[in-house]
Amino acid sequence: MARSTVHYADKETNNILKKLHNKLRPAGTPVQRVEYIIELLLLRIFEVKLVQDPDFAPLRAAFRGDNEGLLFSSLLSLPNDEILPTLNLDFFPFYAGILSEARKVWRGNLSDKVQDQLVLIEEVFSNSNFTNNVTSGNMAEIIGLVAELDSDRLLKTDLLGDAIESALSETGGTKDIGLHRTPDHIREFMVGLAAPTFQSRLFDPTVGTGGFMFDSFEYVLEGVYREGHWPGPKSHPELAAWFKAWFEHHPVPVPSIEVNTDFYRTGVGGIEYLGMVRKMAAINFYVRGLNPGNIRQGDALEKFGTEIRANSKSIVLANPPFGAQRDKESYPNVWSEYPTESETTILFVKLMLELIKPGGVCGVIVSEGFLTWDQNSARALRRSLLEDCDLQAIISLPQGVFVSKGGQGPKTSILLFVKGRPTERVWFYKVTNDGYSMGTNRKPMPGCQLVEALDLFHTYVREGREPPESRHSFCIPAEWIKTLDPRIKDRIRAETRAEMAVKRAADRDKLEQKWAAQIAAKRLTEGGRLQRFADHADLWQTKTESEIARKIERAHLYSFNLPNYRSALSAAQLDAWRAFAASQVREAEPEDLLERRYRAVAAAPIERLDELLSTLDPRHTLELDWARQFLQDVSADEFVRYPHLGTLQEIIASQQRLPRVPLNELLKIRREVMIQSDYSGEADIVGKIRFSDGKLFMREDRAAETNLQWAEKGDLIISKINFHQGATAINDAGRVLASMDYLIYTVNSSQASAALLVRLLRYPDFLATLAANKPGGIKGRSQPDFIENLTVPLPDLVEQERVASTLSRHDSIIQGVTLVEKNWKLDQTLFSGQEQQLSAIGEIGTGSTPSRSNLAYFDGDFHWVLTAEVNECDIEKTTETLTDQAVQDYCLRIYPPDTILVAMYGQGATRGKAAYLRVPAAITQNCAGIVITRPDVLPRYVYYYLRSMYEEIRGQEYSGGGVPHLNLSVIANLRVPIPSLEEQQAVVAELDRQAKLLADLLGLKAQAEAKARKILDEIWES
């Protein structure tokens, strides 16, 4: 996972910790330095507790006489050169046996609390030894710095975490230490959401330094004593004020000794993978009076089912590692259905779901990707969170909360769910101000939204009520998330049934041959054969329905990207819709499922359409899209007859105008130059950006002729020369280099979606404007001052992300169908039989082109096929028509339906293409018309054969020194294999089926292209 962006500690403490690390730098790696700091801090903490904690009062006698100099403060009076040997020879051995020293002065038995904590101290110091690498000349300064630390910071905050945070800024620090730390205010916020009590059983399976657990413990204590000790003076002031008011209004009685003891022994715990970090968590527990023994070391995933049991915890709070390495290849104990799942976030969320008991609460930080990951395990887990839990809240955090080694870390969200009851609705809250300024050195600032989120959650969400809606707070019904668009279901059913029909026919053909042989051998009766046919049909029907169900489930993402479910209608538009719905008289009906509602509207006659459309919820993106689709199918005459429908159409069409935002507010130029002489081929170099789709291509060779510049993944790359032609791309290739002919920009992700922005910059009308106004000079290069002053229409960020996601889905369809179209070819092995010349099985002719200057020849009743229309298709309509006068004057033959056409001219791909006439039509002199005259030859069979021979036919060109072309003689001499009529029929049936599937896919592609264009049109036109 990522680490917190800053220490979130006060400036004075941060400075002391940095100085400590600098002074200890000769001691070795960041890990070694942290070990030394832990031991020094523990000596200081022990003395503070000895003085302030009444439970430790009897132990003070152990530091009298010869042991008086074994407290941390005594180190302050020692000379530099004596401190190191004193620590190694006196301090560390004494504290490694502190338990026996305590028993010497303690009257009676040690209390459980004191004994547990002294056991921890012995563990920490049992192998302690400051090596000579710790320069003794610095030791007095080091001890002085530890002494300067505020005692409240020592006892009331995660100072150990702050100390390690300093090490994380060092090269290799994150890798070596492996600490995944959550900022204090986020931990406090999540504890406030969970609201633990003395009866809670709290657990963190990725406990780190123990922050969630000790914050939960202190929250519980503060609820009883209300002394202002938690969240403490260093907390964000607005958050601290909220908690103070909360505790005053929700007092908790003092628990019994039994309850208090039980809570200490078993109430709070966790598991940490790394030994050193577990030690820090144990020390943090010791500092706060918790049982250090409740922090165990190991792999929580492996320990599930043995050391940690299912349904055993009432509250789990955690920030699991993102993308961490697994210890084992599989964890069937965690999830038997997906035992080899490699994404640790998924595994840990599943583990937490299993750990909490019915009614238990889990609050977990996940990367934003978890909300939409499409692997089966992620879908199944999201579905489980909806159906087996009450997913109460998804709280989106600002991107600046975490940072990784490479810079800004992943966008994250908090999931809060209660186990044991299904979700009715999910509350979404978007935090843009978490109470700290953005950047590396985050400072407190007013307007912390975490306070409002806590108020809304406890006042409404936790009580099962829906909070008031605002631009950053709204609820989404679980039904919206669980409903797959019925149109997608219908498409899956149609496509799957077509695919399975082909497989079924092939399987039946094989079996039929087998059964025929059995009948001939008298091993099967005709009645038995018919029964097997019936059984075969039933079997394939079951297979088909199972495959449909599988594909439908696979198509359901169960996405938790909740803003995508909300429509973009304004409040005024929603009010207008509700007013319209109120005017419709409907019989009272129980609330329908969404799909049933869709089916009802789809089947409605026009006279009931307005009534049924009014049942749709215009807040829901999907339902609004249904309404838009149904209204698109209404004719102009029907709008006149049913004016209420026009009211809805106007509501949908009346989009608010979008602000036009200058690019200089969205983009920041990156200027990271690599000198040519420094380049040694270590990275790819951008070669070009394809105009048609903005795809980025790298050079084949890694040679630099000039200086280069770096581009990071996610950057916007713009060609200075071809910006006006659409040469703009998002860098999805990782860290690459580009020549100085490109501009490299970072995109302000808090204001713009890079995926949508690049589409807006490649919009055809925008490019046309650029071309008309592009800069002059050499090659008309676009410079930053020109680009950055351009403006684009921009919805709010949530709507941008929704639109970008929708466009991405359309792109997937377009790219998928394009790939199928590119690779689909007719199988020549389908065609067999004795070869016949075309001239032997049909008549071959051509046509003519009437004079264009005589308008009386055109726009008549006769179809006229142009060469460009001969494109491996059925021709049912032509772009141009001829009059009877043209047909008579030019003696044009009107070819009947079922005529095969072959294009004889064309320098592109046209020459050699075939088409099939479905209507009577004349043709040009550049086409050949083939009318099959033999009754035992199917024209459709010949058409498909000629299509399969496209390359061979095209290769038989004749030029005679002029333009390469085919002629009637070449066409007449083509040879066609002719099998039996039954075999021809089988081939045609199969290829017609394939052609229909391809046509359906191309129709789907055309729809996707049209929808994508319409989305961008609406943004630019707004």
Cα atoms in the Cβ-side hemisphere of radius 13 Å centred on 504? 18
Q: What is the mean pLDDT of residues 966-986?
A: 93
pLDDT category, 795, cuts 50, 70, 90? Answer: confident
- Confidence class for position 759, pLDDT limits 50, 70, 90: very high
What CA–CA distance (Å, rounded) separates 432 from 751? 11
Alpha carbons 189 and 243: distance in angstroms, whole number: 10
Least confident of 85-89, 164-168, 444-448, 795-799: 164-168
pLDDT in tens, 434-477: 988 766 667 888 889 999 999 999 999 999 999 999 878 999 99
Q: How far apart are CA 391 and CA 228, in angstroms?
A: 32
Q: What is the mean pLDDT of the chain?
A: 85
Mean pLDDT, range 54-64, rounded to an integer: 88
Query: In this predicted model, which residue has the larger pLDDT, 149 or 467?
Result: 467
Residue 177: pLDDT band with limits 50, 70, 90:
very low
Nearest to 801, CA basis, from 621, 655, 667, 654: 621
Provide the pLDDT for residue 772.
Answer: 64
- Contact predicate 21/124, CB 8 Å: no
Residues 6+ apart with CB under 8 A from 567: 618, 619, 620, 621, 623, 624
Q: How far apart are CA 811 and CA 805, in angstroms?
A: 10
Q: Please classify residue 777 by burial: count the beta carbons closer than 10 Å to its beta carbon, then call 0-12 exposed, 13-18 middle and 19+ buried.
A: exposed
> What letter does residue 512 receive in the DSSP assignment?
H
Neighbours of 953 (CB within 10 A): 22
C-alpha triplet 587, 590, 596: angle, nearest 5°: 95
What whole-number distance in Å separates Cα of residue 278 and Cα of residue 963?
82
What is the C-alpha separation between 907 and 836, in angstroms, rounded?
Answer: 29
Q: Which of 164-168, 221-225, 748-752, 808-812 has the weakest average pLDDT? A: 164-168
The pLDDT value recorded for residue 457 is 97
Q: Give the Cβ contact number of residue 646 at 10 Å.
A: 16
Which residues, other chains included, contact 595 with Cβ-Cβ below 8 Å and sequence gap of 6+?
Answer: 483, 486, 489
Single out the residue of 238, 242, 165, 609 nearest to residue 434, CA to CA. Answer: 238
User: Which has more pLDDT, 731 or 569?
Assistant: 731
Residue with tokens 């159409």: 649
What is the distance between the terminal CA atoms of the chain, rounded to a whole angstrom? Answer: 40
Locus of tokens 């359906």: 1000
**Radius of gyration over alpha carbons of the chain, in Å?**
38
Q: Please state, for a pLDDT cut of 70, what percent of the chain lies above it.
A: 90
The torsion of the CA quartet 867, 868, 871, 876, rounded to 10 degrees, works out to -80
Residue 293 and residue 116 in contact, taking contact as beta carbons nearer than 8 Å: yes
Q: Are strands 728-730 and 842-845 parallel, antiparallel or unpaired?
A: unpaired
Least confident of 66-80, 286-300, 535-549, 888-902: 286-300
* pLDDT grade for 271, boundaries at 50, 70 and 90: very high
Q: Per-residue pLDDT averaged across 919-930, rounded?
A: 95
Q: Distance of CA 8 to CAs 11, 165, 435, 454, Å?
A: 9, 10, 11, 21
Tens of pLDDT, residue by residue over 419-432, are 999 999 999 999 98
The secondary structure of 574-640, three-state, reads HHHHHHHHHCCCCCCCCCCCHHHHHHHHHCCCHHHHHHHHCCCCCCEHHHHHHHHHHHHCCCHHHHH
Task: Please give the average per-residue pLDDT across 81-89, as a whole number.
Answer: 89
pLDDT band with cut points at 50, 70 and 90 for residue 596:
confident
- 168 falls in which pLDDT band (50, 70, 90)? very low
Q: Where residue 170 falls among pLDDT bands split at 50, 70, 90?
A: very low
Task: With cut-offs at 50, 70 and 90, classify the pLDDT of residue 111.
Answer: confident
3-state secondary structure 812-874: HHHHHHHHHHHHCCCCHHHCCCEEEEHHHHEEEECCCCCCCCCHHHEEEEEEEECHHHCCCCE
Q: Do 746 and 670 form a contact (C-beta atoms < 8 A)?
A: yes
Give the residue from 142, 213, 154, 153 showing the smallest Cα distance to 363.
Answer: 213
Is residue 157 exposed (0-12), middle (13-18) or buried (19+ Cβ within 10 Å)?
A: buried
For 957, the 3-state DSSP assignment is coil
Reduced to 3 states (helix: H, G, I; strand: E, B; else coil), residue 277 is helix
The amino acid at residue 140 is A
Question: Is residue 670 predicted with pLDDT exceeding 80?
Answer: yes
pLDDT (0 to 100) of residue 194:
96
Measured distance CA(243)–CA(222) in Å, rounded: 9
Give just the sign of the alpha carbon dihedral 206, 210, 213, 215.
negative
Give the pLDDT of residue 169.
47
Mean pLDDT of all residues in 324-351: 86
**Long-range CB contact pairs, 348-351, < 8 A, 24+:** 348/205, 348/206, 348/300, 348/301, 348/318, 348/320, 348/321, 349/320, 349/381, 349/415, 350/381, 351/205, 351/300, 351/301, 351/304
Query: Which pLDDT belongs to residue 591?
Result: 46
Mean pLDDT of 576-602: 71
Could you write out the three-class secondary structure of 141-182?
HHHHHHHHCCHHHHHHCCHHHHHHHHHHCCCCHHHHHCCCCC
Residue 115 has pLDDT above 80, yes or no: yes
Task: Output the CA angle 669-674-675, nearest 5 degrees.
Answer: 130
Cis amide prior to 793 (ω within 30 degrees):
no
Instruction: List the beta bridge partners of residue 697.
Output: 688
Amino acid, single-letter form, for residue 505: A
**Which tops the pLDDT comparison, 288 or 528?**
528
- Give the chain's largest Cα–Cα span: 130
DSSP-based three-state secondary structure for 930: strand
Q: Regarding predicted confidence, which is higher, 86 or 779?
A: 86
Q: Higher model confidence: residue 926 or residue 323?
A: 926
Q: What DSSP element (H or E) covers 33? A: helix 30-52
- Residue 526: pLDDT band (50, 70, 90) is confident
Among 151, 172, 149, CA closest to 33: 172
Structure confidence at residue 178 (pLDDT): 43
Q: How far is CA 416 from CA 353, 360, 916, in A?
A: 11, 11, 61
* DSSP of 40-95: HHHHHHHHHHHHH-GGGGGGGGGGSGGGGGGSGGGGGGS-HHHHHHHIIIIIHHHH
Q: How far, in Å, CA of 458 to CA of 473, rounded?
A: 14
Q: State yes or no: pLDDT of 164 exceeds 60.
A: no
State how far the Cα of 33 lies from the Cα of 138, in Å rounded to an integer.
14
C-alpha 423/C-alpha 385 separation (Å) is 8
**Interhelix angle for 486-520 vs 526-555, to 10°?**
160
> Environment class of residue 993 by beta-carbon count within 10 Å: exposed (0-12), middle (13-18) or buried (19+)?
middle
Mean pLDDT on 780-785: 81
Strands 921-923 and 858-865: parallel
Average pLDDT (998-1008) is: 88
> Rounded to whole angstroms, how far apart are CA atoms 974 and 947?
12
Q: Which is more confident, 51 or 582?
A: 51
